[in-house]
Each structure stands twice: as C-alpha cells, then as structure tokens.
Amino acid sequence: MNLNYSNRINKLPEYLFAEIDREIEKKRKNGIEVIDLSVGDPDLPTANNIVDALCDSARDPENHRYPSYRGMLEFRESVANFYKRRFNVRLNPEDEVIALIGSKEGIAHLPLAFINSGDSCLVPDPAYPVYKISAILADGNAIEMPLLEENEFRPDLNVIGRKDAKKAKIMFINYPNNPTTAIADKDFFREVVDFAIENEIIVCHDNAYSEITFDGYIAPSFLEVKNAKDIGIEFHSLSKTYNMTGWRIGFAVGNSDIIRGLGKVKENIDSGIFQAIQYAGVEALNSPESEIRDNVNIFKERRDLMVDGLNDIGFEVEKPKATFYLWFRIPNKFKNSIEFCRKLLKKAGVVMTPGSGFGKYGEGYVRLSITQPIEILERALERIKCKNILK
C-alpha cells in the first residue's frame, strides 16, 4: 500500500537537528559523556506532598473512573484561588477555567475550535513551536510576528499589515518568553488587547513561566489588563512552576466562550485528566509561596554561574529576569546557529539548541537550559573554556 501522510502533516516545519542527534548518539556509543543543555525539563523532583497526594488519591476507586473532560470542580476552584491570590484576577471556576493534559495539549487543540481552512494565526518567531504547528494542524496558516532584539523580543504590532490583521483569528503571545527569556509589562498587554478588539482576534497568552522569575521581578497575568477577558485566554501549566513536566497537567483560563470552544474539542477527543493527578494538582496549587521561591533560588544560582562563566570565556550573555533559559548571540565566526551547536558538541560534548529551531528570526542565537545540577553546569563551562570554542 502506498501510504501518504496528509498535507497537514507534510506541512509541519522540518526537523532541523537530525545531524546533531546523530552526533550525540555517536558520542554516547563511544562512551563519551554528553552534557545536554538543550531541553527545558527541570531536573528537580516534584515535591513530596504532591507525590503523596497522587498516591493517596490513586488508591481511591472513586478516582478510577472517567474524569470530567473539563476538570474536577475542586481543581478548577484551586486554579481560581491561585489566580485571585497571585494576580488578583477573579475567575468563575464554572465556566472560565478548564483543566488541560498539559498546556501543550490545550494550545495544540485551540485552533481546531476557531480556525477554518485558510484562516490565519499570528504567531511569534522565534517561539515555542506548538503555536505554529497548531495552526497548521487546523488547516490554517501561521503569520509570523518577528521578535527582534531591538524591540526587546516583543512583536511590533504596528508592522502587522491591515490585511493580515483582518485575516487573523488568533494571536499567540508568551511572556516570560521561551526561548528569548524576554519579559513584557502590562503596557504591552494593553496594546495587544486594543489591537485584538479592533481586529476581532482571540488572544492566547501562554504564561508557563510566570513563577520562574528573578531579582524581584514579578510577572503579570495577561488577564490583569482591562478588557483582556473580553478577547482572550491564558494558558498555564504546573510543569515548570512545580517541576511536574511528566505529570501532564495544566489549564486555560479567561473568556468563557473561548474556554467553551476549547472544551468542545476536548470533549470529543480526550476524556480529561486522571483524577488522582488533579488532586495532586490541587495540592501543588495550594503550595506555600516559599516552596516556589526555594525552587527558583536554585535556578538563580545556576543562572548566575552560567552567565558569569560564559561572559568570562568571552561570550556576551545577559542575566535573564525569568525562565530557566539563557538566550544569547552566537560568536561571529560561525556561519549559523546550527554550525555553532555542531562545533560545540563535537569539541566540548555540550548540547545547546540552535536559535533557528525556534523560527527563522531565531537565527544567530542559541538557547541554553539550566535544568541540570550545578556540578554538571560547571563541567560544561570547564569544557567550553578548555576547548577554546571561540578560537
């Protein structure tokens, strides 16, 4: 049988790192330790009280049945309480909150509810790849909004053409930002709200890193801005805040019509999150602020070590105010970010992510993730230094 993928699968962005993957494989086979600083997956364990909540709930047969597709009321109430406590944003747990099997799931499904074939989504570039992919999987188009260093990696809404603005149905934004580590204030969110109201666009703000912030910076919610709830929702995740990437639990909050649309898709595709995981999520969302701070302090120590270390070697890296990434320019002598990463891997056995993997405007940069213990980060610095990558 001649098996062909659908056009939408064929349209997905090309995977750029096959060669780097082969090189990693080869080194590992030869017994050479590869230090992987490419993945945004915390090495720190989930807190014990959260694991205990899962274990206790898993023993209760009440939780062995199909969950509700939009999440248990108890979970949605904890989300609403978290938003009130943390952002002073009021949410009705009845219809303004939906549980997700990780925020990635919700992001990927949202366009299915609102995009018809040929409609457009405005997506940042560079970006978390799922925004663009979700548009393509819904048979829509992605219109890139360049995130440029001169604009502090925020999209310039004034350069979006009238036609594109009118054609677009959804805009994705994400601050604190992956991969650029940029932050945005409420003035920027206000601009986005005005633009979205004028052009009748749904705004999806991805706030996955709101709690991973440093040096006194406190990240806002998009929903803190007046009228934001008229046109938008915010995706949020327990993955990064509570070291729970493997658990697959997140949520979306905001405009009830948009939430209902997302719910319609989910109702017909998945049947919600295992209730024991939702109880663990409730436990996580009720964690004392100090627990999150202790976690963030570990990332801060690593950030300082890596930024200072790389600058000593001769790179130019700034200390990010948020996220567990560093984003910096590759040295001039390299042709592009893939070539830099290939050299780095070959000479020093250290893996970083080429900026071009996040979109064409990511070219010229590299992303490094500090989700490794301090000893490993020190070893990575040591190797980069002694192998003289910059020479």
Ligand X SMILES: *Cc1c(COP(=O)(O)O)cnc(C)c1O
Query: What is the footprint of ligand X within residues 126-155 (CB under 6 A)?
Result: 128
What number of chain residues touch ligand X (CB under 6 A)?
14
Beta partners for 36?
Answer: 351
Helices (H), 219-322: 228-231, 238-241, 256-269, 275-285, 289-313
Contacts of residue 182, Cβ cutoff 8 Å, sequence gap at least 6: 147, 152, 153, 154, 175, 176
Question: Which one of the spans 99-107, 258-266, 326-334, 353-361 is the region binding ligand X (CB under 6 A)?
Answer: 99-107
- What strand order describes the sheet that includes 353-354? 325-329, 365-369, 353-354
**Cβ-based nearer residue to ligand X, 245 or 337:** 245
Contacts of residue 84, Cβ cutoff 8 Å, sequence gap at least 6: 90, 91
Q: Identify the residue among 67, 102, 349, 354 touching ligand X (CB under 6 A).
A: 102
**Cβ-based nearer residue to ligand X, 212 or 389:** 212
Query: What is the footprint of ligand X within residues 10-69 (CB under 6 A)?
Result: 40
Minimum separation from the CB atom of position 274 to ligand X (A): 15
**Cβ-based nearer residue to ligand X, 174 or 353:** 174
CA–CA gap between residue 53 and residue 278 (Å, rounded): 9
Question: Which one of the spans 97-105, 134-142, 259-267, 356-364 is the region binding ligand X (CB under 6 A)?
Answer: 97-105
Minimum separation from the CB atom of position 108 to ligand X (A): 9
Which residue type, as a one-letter code, is found at position 51? V
Q: Identify the residue among 208, 262, 273, 381 touching ligand X (CB under 6 A).
A: 208
Q: What is the phi/psi pair of residue 193, to 5°?
A: -60, -45
Q: Identify the residue among 46, 78, 120, 178 touching ligand X (CB under 6 A).
A: 178
**Cβ-based nearer residue to ligand X, 199 or 245:** 245
Residue 12 near residue 133, CB atoms below 8 Å: yes
Q: What are the CA-CA distances from residue 48 to residues 117, 242, 373 (Å)?
A: 46, 11, 19
Q: Is 169 in the site for ligand X (CB under 6 A)?
A: no
Minimum separation from the CB atom of position 327 to ligand X (A): 13
Q: What is the phi/psi pair of residue 266, to 5°?
A: -65, -40
Q: Identify the residue among 199, 245, 295, 337 touching ligand X (CB under 6 A).
A: 245
Beta partners for 326?
Answer: 368
**Cβ-based nearer residue to ligand X, 274 or 334:** 274
Residues that bind ligand X (CB under 6 A): 40, 102-104, 128, 174, 178, 206, 208, 237, 239-240, 245, 250
